[in-house]
Amino acid sequence: MSTSSQHPEALGRGYMLWNPPAERRVEVGPQHLQIPLPEIPLPVHREDLADGDPSDDAIGRGIYDYLRQFPDCAHNTRYAELLRDAYPHYLADLGAQAAMLDHKEVDAPYVRRKITCLKILALLEPENPGLLQQIGISLYELGTNFAELGLCRRHLLSALGYLQRALKHAPDSLVCLNYCGQIDFLLGDYPSAARRWAGVIGRLEKGPAREALEQRLARIDSMQVPDHPIIDDLEEVGNAIEACADGDFETARLVLEGLEEEGTLPAEIPMPEFHYLLGVSRARCGEPAGAFESFEKALEIDAGFQPAIEGREAILDGRTP
């Protein structure tokens, strides 16, 4: 048995990187086809190496589990190719998971899992515009998820990269052009947003979606746009979320009140979560009246936003939410 030094990603995750001997093959299917293993370190669960070289099943399981944790790891394409050739049931499982997660609510953990599934599938079809578009959209959803705003710039730039790759193969994709325009707008690149949306509007049927884009284009043409990138404000909200997680509600309150007073973010992207977080911060800073006002603003955006309903009830009952 030969193992290489641990890859940094695998440290503490229960994997060893195993170097297969040159003659090692795995047996596949009812016809007992012999598939040679690539001459690269293969991730295997540590316990599957306890009694010597891993079994065929252990090799497939280790690669599959490792890719789901580290889809951008070294040798990722070779690992995916081995799954395709020797363990196709794992790829079928990935496709089923991606389809299932596509119908889940847009919560960050689900979106992350979907992105991982799609990234692994895209290793085998790196020029597939549909897969690239799905990854880009999912990264956009992650980047605009309230809980992920501290990492929004990273997610949105990554989304833009995938969407632009998709556009190389499907340059007329309305979906890709629209999402790229949305990201450009958040990044403060208004000319790029206008160019992308100009290629979309004429091909949209009349309705709310077209009207919304027309209004944004009109704002860009008349320079009635934010004087700073909205993404800067989103990152500030991310800082406030982190401050709340650390128990520093005073810092969170000051950050959120500053954004509310400046007004760009609440006007451009009305989010009940923003006002709810401000309400909680105010309550924890001994300002129940201000907290109640913030909860009310959250409910003006979404009358059914349960955290704000509970926060308002707590204030009325004399409790701190």
Nearest alpha carbon to residue 183 among 150, 161, 207: 161
pLDDT in tens, 275-301: 999 999 999 999 999 999 999 999 999
Confidence at residue 92, expressed as pLDDT on a 0 to 100 scale: 87
Q: Which domains does the chain have, with CATH numbers?
A: 8-86 (no CATH), 94-221 (1.25.40.10), 233-316 (1.25.40.10)
Interval 135-159: pLDDT, tens? 999 999 999 999 999 999 999 999 9
Model confidence at 103, pLDDT cuts 50, 70, 90, reads low
Query: Cα–Cα distance between 237 and 276 in angstroms, integer?
Result: 12
Amino acid at 256: L
Residue-level pLDDT at 256:
98
Q: At 102, is the pLDDT very low, low, confident or very high (cuts 50, 70, 90)?
A: low
**Model pLDDT, residue 32:** 79
What secondary structure does DSSP assign to 271-311, as a single string? -HHHHHHHHHHHHHTT-HHHHHHHHHHHHHH-TT-HHHHHH
Percent of the chain with pLDDT over 70: 94
Other C-beta atoms lying within 10 Å of the C-beta of residue 320: 12
Q: How many CA atoms lie within 13 A of 114 on its CB side?
A: 26
Average pLDDT, the chain: 91
* pTM for the structure as a whole: 0.90
CA distance 315 to 311: 6
Highest mean pLDDT among 9-23, 25-39, 80-94: 80-94
Between 232 and 100, where is the model more confident? 232
Question: Given pLDDT bands bounded at 50, 70 and 90, which one contains residue 70?
Answer: very high
pLDDT per residue as tens digits for the range 251-281 = 999 999 999 999 999 999 999 999 999 999 9
Position 7 confidence tier, pLDDT thresholds 50, 70, 90: low
What's the pLDDT band for 106 if we cut at 50, 70, 90?
A: low
pLDDT over 50 at 5, yes or no? no
Task: Report, as an integer, the average pLDDT of 229-236.
Answer: 98
pLDDT at 8 over 70: no
Rounded CA gap, 84 and 124, in Å? 8
- pLDDT average, residue stretch 63-85: 94
Question: 157: buried, middle or exposed (CB in 10 Å: 19+, 13-18, 0-12)?
Answer: middle
Mean pLDDT value of segment 97-101: 72
With cut-offs at 50, 70 and 90, classify the pLDDT of residue 105.
low
* Residue 209, pLDDT score: 87
Residue 42, token pair as written in the block: 């293969």
Q: What is the pLDDT of residue 64?
A: 94
Nearest to 48 by CA among 14, 85, 11, 9: 14
Contact 60, 89 (CB under 8 A): no
Residue 214 has pLDDT above 80, yes or no: yes
Tell me the per-residue pLDDT of 175-185, one tens digit each, with 9 for 90 and over. Answer: 999 999 999 99
Residue at 162: amino acid letter? Y
What's the confidence (pLDDT) of residue 6?
A: 46
